[in-house]
Structure 1
């Protein structure tokens, strides 16, 4: 995969898939996403995707003309799994306790994964940030994630829990940035503690802007 990579939008003239065809296409994307998450985008070949799916290469090319097209769909799937799945809970954030519940849910979700220390979005960004189209797509995902968090902080400020002078957008950036640093250290050290510390310190930073004192975060039992 060279620097010519282009992340494409969906083709408007794409034929409508049958239910079986849509299921096959979804399975290919899910398999590719899993392989790329575990071993990296560059290391994942189309032959590996074909073998893991148990399909022919002609079937894969029926849905995806090349690896770049497949990566485009992997990015979209990662957003659905990582960010869109958090939206219902982030939409309910109206207090520091709600934010702590989101934190607990995030930690639990990562502990249940086979590869718990890697961010599904950040890991793609680490490999694809030099490709402008992919970088823009991933930046948009991070912006959406930050926006969902910032919206919750706005609601906290409107309810009077957060100081009127607090900047929800800046606080959201701080939390997501701390998360990504925590992911990187946790993966490198194969230890979840850096992830927990980074996340809790980020929420403590938010808590510093809470008008009513809130007890310090306590980490769940390891």
Structure 2
């Protein structure tokens, strides 16, 4: 077998372990998910796990955090990368609501903030980077709207971006508890009100 084939197989095995651990943590929480649980759920041997994660649990949790960050950002694409029109903001809003309605209390954002972000300085830094990247994308979108004259020039892009992130996080927290996306919809629409983007129909 070629080295490239071995590399692809190894990468697939590592990803399978990470994805399986992520699902367990979304369902049970990080504190309630042991390495033995991950081994059983992913049909992985202890030797395999420590081959890919020499640091054990700490290394695996960091990898899961990176995985979940990717899930959060990719779910918002292609809209998050180009929020230069009100139409693109509306499509982004619908994508966010649809994504979290489908996932319910198993969403990666909730696991990142309430679970993984507390496990170590490494995972905390990963979660912090997520919010920094996300905030920058939203702020850039607002700035582009201002440049085009699509929204009031008095709107502060950084402030609005932070309000949107807080709205999503709060709404997702309540969604995870109640399984009602209406909380996320109301909070997100309130944050987006300065842009004139909302839907008065509660989900």
- Measured against the shorter chain, the TM-score band is 0.7 to 0.9
Q: Cα 1:57–1:21, aligned 2, differ >3 Å: closer, same or farther? A: same
Local SS of the residue matching 1:94: coil
Shift of the alpha carbon at 1:130? 6.7
* 2:76 counterpart of 1:102: no
Q: Could you say which residue in structure 2 is the equivalent of 1:124?
A: 112
- RMSD of aligned residue pairs (Cα, Å): 2.1
> In structure 1, which of residues 168, 179, 182 is the aligned counterpart of residue 171 of structure 2?
182
Residue pair 2:106, 2:176 contacting (<8 A) in 1 also: yes
* Alignment partners' CA distance in 2, 1:118 and 1:30: 13
For residues 52 and 187 of structure 1, the distance between their equivalents in structure 2, rounded to whole angstroms, comes to 23
DSSP-derived class of the 1:55 partner: coil
Alignment counterpart, residue 70 of structure 1, candidates 60, 70, 94: 60
Q: Give the unaligned 5+ runs of structure 2.
A: none
Q: Which runs of 5+ in 1 are unaligned?
A: 1-14, 208-213
> Which of 80, 85, 91 is 1:90 aligned to?
80
Q: Where is the helix percentage greater, Structure 1 or Structure 2?
A: 2
Q: How far apart, in 1, do the equivalents of 2:201 and 2:133 lie?
A: 27
Structure 1 outlier segments of 4+, above 4 Å: none
Deviations 1:109-144 (A, max 9, x none): 22222xx14542343222333733322221111110
TM-score (norm 2): 0.88
Q: What residue number does 2:101 align with?
A: 111
SS at match of 1:112: helix
Contact between 2:168 and 2:184, CA under 8 Å: does it hold in 1?
A: yes
Count of paired positions: 198
TM-score (norm 1): 0.81
